[in-house]
Amino acid sequence: MYTVRIENECSCFKKSGFENNLTYENKADAIMKAKILECRMSQEFCLTHYFEAEDMGDEIVIRTIVTPADDEDDWDD
């Protein structure tokens, strides 16, 4: 069995209706579901975080990463 696990459930995840700790018979299905969740969460949630799936063997962990703030001073005119 292979598990897709959200490492840190942010408030957007909790409100989303998505489930955590999903299990699959084969690794290919688990990886595909993790990539779909990673993409949807990064695009549909509040954009405070983005999400990254990592293969940890029998578990695919989706990590929450704080989106870096834009620094307008770095742009040259």
Does position 54 have pLDDT exceeding 90, yes or no?
A: yes
- Both tokens of 63, joined, read 């990590």
- Report percent pLDDT > 90 for the chain: 68
Does position 72 have pLDDT exceeding 70, yes or no?
A: no
Of 58, 46, 45, 49, which Cα lies nearest the Cα of 4? 58
- Report percent pLDDT > 70 for the chain: 88
Amino acid at 75: W
- pTM score of the predicted model: 0.80
Question: What confidence tens digit (pLDDT) does each residue in 21-49 have?
Answer: 999 999 999 999 999 999 999 999 888 88
What order do you get walking across the sheet with 22-24 strand by strand? 22-24, 2-6, 59-66, 49-55
Return the pLDDT at 70. 60
